Amino acid sequence: MLPYDAKEGKGAKKPLPDHISIVQPKEETPIVTPYSEPKERKAEPLPQQIAHPGQLPPQKQQQTMNDVITIVFFL
């Protein structure tokens, strides 16, 4: 495969991924005084009331196969 040649156009159309180009870093403006940018807070939902065990409706207890086997075994 021919190497990338931008001038004459005889090589590959795109540079190969192993091509390395070194670029000088951009000049940065010096920070004179530190500052922070205010960020908007999202509206937090109100906390839900925690239900105490006495406030919960009674739940129906389901009988499992293990309970049935245990009952039959002891009879």
DSSP for residue 52 = P
- pLDDT, tens only, 8-49: 767 777 777 776 788 898 898 888 888 888 888 776 666 665
- Comparison of pLDDT for 61 and 23, the residue scoring more: 23
CB 57 within 8 A of CB 51: no
Give the C-alpha separation, 49 to 59, whole Å. 20
**Residues whose CB is less than 8 angstroms from the CB of residue 10 and which lie 6 or more positions away in sequence, other chains included:** 2
- Comparison of pLDDT for 59 and 15, the residue scoring more: 15
State the pLDDT at residue 54. 60
CB 11 within 8 A of CB 2: yes
pTM higher than the cut 0.95: no
